[in-house]
Structure 1
């Protein structure tokens, strides 16, 4: 049995949940590029994954954006290397990073109020700017 892929201390996914397909890559490779399928397309069925809880699935789906299909499958394509094993490792690392980022809930923002001194500084700056602009007008008839 393959070893579990550790995401966080409490989350690990089974390698059988990940499906890899190899395609021909565009870009560098010379004559090799037309013969060898070195790019990897990694598919992870996010919706039906038993390894992830529902809140984590929702956060990962939001983070995945256009990499998420209508069926709830995350598709990650890697073709930056000429070597298939390097592309596999990069795609897996990107999937792990995506799930790791979605594993932790975002810290809630604590609303703060500006201090009285900062309000006064802001208003003084506005009045100074207003005076400068008023001095630019044509001189009066007095």
Structure 2
């Protein structure tokens, strides 16, 4: 019993010494020594104000469902061990950071990417790194939203389409005429043959 209490007191004392030395030790390359005059408090900017009419590029990550899985394809053992594929989802109807017009356009243009529960699904397995795939998925989402934000081009009338078709036919005929003229010029440069 005596040995056990000595060991317990030694380990307790040893643990206290370790914590004391760890708290007072400063490396030569610590931030305090490298940048002695800096405040060293990290400033996290607040998210920009939400404008319902226009998308400002800010995507609130807390409203996204992000899951990671193993990627397919080449990559050796890394593919089998590390979950690098990103599956990013958000509920289109509950997204309060985009306008209703953008939501409707997303539903209309990307029906195949929205599941039955109303989640828009974006996947990325572009690289072997999880964070780069997450950045790629967020960039894809921003691209989809910005594309949905731009107004659709109005459809052209049949008269305009007919004018465009006639101009294309005239341009093709002009190109063939110039090609024939150039061919005739080159043919005229050849030496005459006695056949």
What is the TM-score with the length of structure 2 in the denominator?
Answer: 0.53
Computing the radius of gyration from Cα coordinates, the structure with the larger value is 2
State the distance in 2 between where 1:87 and 1:20 align: 11
Which segments of structure 1 move beyond 6 Å, counting only runs of 4 or more?
none
**Deviation (angstroms), 1:60:** 0.9
Mapped contact 2:69–2:83 kept (Cα < 8 A): yes
Structure 1 equivalent of residue 153 of structure 2? 107
Residue 44 (structure 1) aligned to one of 81, 87, 90 = 90
**Deviation (angstroms), 1:49:** 0.9
Mapped contact 1:17–1:49 kept (Cα < 8 A): yes
Structure 2 equivalent of residue 133 of structure 1? none
Task: Report the aligned-residue RMSD.
Answer: 2.8
User: Which runs of structure 2 are paired with 1:84-123 in the superposition (5 Å)?
Assistant: 84-113=130-159, 114=162, 118=166
- Three-state SS of the structure 2 residue aligned to 1:100 is helix
Mapped contact 1:28–1:82 kept (Cα < 8 A): no
Structure 2 equivalent of residue 10 of structure 1? 54
Larger relative contact order (C-alpha < 8 A, sep ≥ 6)? 1
User: Which runs of structure 2 are paired with 1:7-86 in the superposition (5 Å)?
Assistant: 10-12=54-56, 13-86=59-132
Count residues with an aligned counterpart. Answer: 117
What is the TM-score with the length of structure 1 in the denominator?
Answer: 0.70
- The structure richer in helix per residue is 2
Gaps of 5+ in 2: 1-43, 170-195
Deviations 1:64-97 (A, max 9, x none): 2311111211111111211111110111100110
State the distance in 2 between where 1:29 and 1:88 align: 18
- The structure richer in strand per residue is 1
State the distance in 2 between where 1:33 and 1:15 align: 26
Deviations 1:91-123 (A, max 9, x none): 1100110111111220212415146xx5xx9xx
State the distance in 2 between where 1:107 and 1:85 align: 36
Gaps of 5+ in 1: 122-142
